[in-house]
Chains A and B, each alone.
Chain A
Amino acid sequence: MISEVLTPEPFFMLATLLFSIGLIGLISRRNLFVVYMSIELMLSSVNLVLVVFSRLRGDMGGSVMVLLMIAVIAAEAALFLAMIIQLVRSRRSVDSDDFAQLRQTKEQL
């Protein structure tokens, strides 16, 4: 069924699109929640690619990897959200530009 109807290209296109949207969101948005979701999106697109390849080769290894990735995503989500809560608590802000500690301030120069 699927073998007759579909080629892998649409799936790859979808994965690429998802990844690009994630990247764009990561760069362009300041809302930490959006940034977080962009990262999740990118991870998911990788998952998609893995599954597609797993299906292409008929190899369950790729699927297992995706399963493990999902576990990692869950862990990452927990951490990221915990960090956001911490930041919100300290600054009452979800703006990534507010957290600019990486900069060398004038006093440090």
Chain B
Amino acid sequence: MLWSKQSILSAFGFLIAMLAMAGVFALLENSFLFLAQIMVSVGAVVVLSLMVIITVNMKDEDLPDEPKKLRWILFSAILVAPFSFLMYRALTHMHQSFGVSQEGYGTLKSMGGELFSHWVLPFEIASVLLLAAMVAAIVIARKEPN
């Protein structure tokens, strides 16, 4: 994903990453999120990205020429390394082993109960946000009348 010059190749990489993420969710016994990830991230976001990339249809020569790409990537990798290390340490600090999953963990039913009992307000806000994003996206991407 980082490497390829063509956006479309990166997008395929991205698609694979998202699919893998869905797999990880499944591994974590979270069936609903597995579905949601497949449907939204893969089905909507990645496909939308692909569509845009294809629509824009940048020619090879129009794409940014990045001769020092490798050097940049190495440099930023060095920069990011301490941070990643710190993050990893912070995450694993609260080490806990996985217990046996509770009855109904990750199912649609438990998810729905949780969502509509404790998380109603964020859920509504998210819906408003989506609406706003939709409107904004249309406004931004629309061709100017003149």
Contact = CB atoms under 8 A, between A and B. Distances in A.
| Direct A–B contact in the complex, CB atoms closer than 8 angstroms | yes
Given A19-B87, A23-B83, A70 B1 contact: no
B53 A33 contact: yes
Given A8-B92, A78-B133, A48 B40 contact: no
Given A58-B102, A61-B114, A51 B1 contact: no
A40 B99 contact: no
Contact of B41 (A8, A16, A73): A73
A27 interface: yes
Interface string B11-49: 101100110010011011110110011001100110011
Contacts of B132: 75
B62 to A, nearest CB: 7
Given A40-B45, A97-B64, A71 B129 contact: yes
Contacts of A70: 36-37, 40-41
B146 interface: no
A73 B41 CA distance: 8
A28 interface: yes
B48 A40 contact: no
Contact of B28 (A28, A30, A51, A60): A51
Interface string A57-78: 1101101111110111111111
B76 to A, nearest CB: 4
Contacts of A7: 95, 97-98
Interface of B: 1-2, 5, 7, 10-11, 13-14, 17-18, 21, 24-25, 27-30, 32-33, 36-37, 40-41, 44-45, 48-49, 52-53, 55-56, 58, 62-64, 66, 69, 72-73, 75-77, 79-81, 83-84, 87-88, 91-92, 95-102, 105-106, 110-111, 113-115, 118-119, 122-123, 126-127, 129-130, 132-134, 136-138, 140-141, 143
Interface of A: 2-3, 6-9, 11-21, 23-25, 27-31, 33-34, 36-38, 40-41, 44, 47-49, 51-52, 54-58, 60-61, 63-68, 70-79, 81-86, 88-89, 92-98
